[in-house]
Every structure is written in C-alpha cells, then in structure tokens.
Amino acid sequence: MRYLTDRKRAVGKGASGTGTEHHWAMTVSSVALALMLPAWLYIFGSALGGTQDEVVATFGRPFPAILTALVLVVGMRHFIGGATVMIEDYARGTARKAAIIGVTCLGWAVVATGLFALARMAL
C-alpha cells in the first residue's frame, strides 16, 4: 500500500534534491545573458578591427568594461552549470568526477584570464 499520492511524489525537488534550484539558476542566467548579449555584441563589434589604442579606449570606459565582466562571469557560470549536468548524465565513476573538475577549472580559468585582461585595459 502506497502512502504517498501521485501529487505528493510530484511536488518537491526530485530525486537529487537540487533539480529545482539548478533549473532556476540556469533560467535566470540564460535570461540575463539574453538581455546583456545584444548590447555587448554591439560594443564588441564596434571595437573589432580597431587599433589597439581604440580598443583599449573602448573597454576603458565604465559601461563596456562592466558589461564585459558581467557577460564573462554569467556566461561562464552558465557554461559550467550546463556542462556539469551533461557530464552527470553521460559519465560515471572517476571519469565523471575528473570531467566535472576539469570543466569547472576551465570555466573559472577563462573568467580569471578575461577579468585580468579587462582590468589591464580598463586601468
């Protein structure tokens, strides 16, 4: 005899206990990226093909520098979250752990490198 109804089983976070939080985090980051990317692409596209002094002057202004940093951090966090879910779905054992660690390290290395380069241009 089952004590839980179908509705009781459906309400909640699912088997892992973190599915809802992860879904909302990915939804929020994707909406944030959808709002930020058009402006960033315009700024990046206008700087593309310019001389080094023009590019440094473009990213030396506050709005392009802050927007670039936000796109970089939010984009890489979104990448890490999505790649982690993909790895959890298809890999098992030690390979799974190593792949998740590798993806996380790669994502944060890209963030660190990008923010360093941006700080060098902006300061």
Q: Tell me the mean pLDDT in the region 94-114.
A: 98
Distance, in Å, from the CA atom of 112 to the CA atom of 33, rounded to the nearest integer, reads 19
Q: For residue 93, what is the DSSP state? A: H
Percentage of residues in the chain having pLDDT higher than 90: 80
The dihedral of CA 44, 73, 94, 22: what is its sign? negative
Residue 2 lies in a domain: no
Residue 9 lies in a domain: no
Q: Tell me the mean pLDDT in the region 66-85.
A: 97
Distance, in Å, from the CA atom of 3 to the CA atom of 28, rounded to the nearest integer, reads 36
Q: How many independent structural domains does the chain possess?
A: 1
Tokens standing for 89? 């779905």
Residue 61 lies in a domain: yes
Q: What share of the chain is helix, strand, coil (3-state, %, to 5)?
A: 85, 0, 15
CATH of the domain at 117: 1.20.1300
Q: 114 near 74, Cβ under 8 Å?
A: no
pLDDT at residue 87 in the model:
96
> pLDDT class for 45, splitting at 50, 70, 90?
very high
Residue 117 lies in a domain: yes
Q: Tell me the mean pLDDT in the region 1-6.
A: 65
Residue 4 lies in a domain: no
Question: Does the model's pTM come out above 0.85?
Answer: no
Q: Tell me the mean pLDDT in the region 110-123.
A: 95
User: What residue numbers bound the domain in which 85 lies?
Assistant: 19-122
Residue 67 lies in a domain: yes
pLDDT at residue 99 in the model:
98
pLDDT at residue 51 in the model:
96
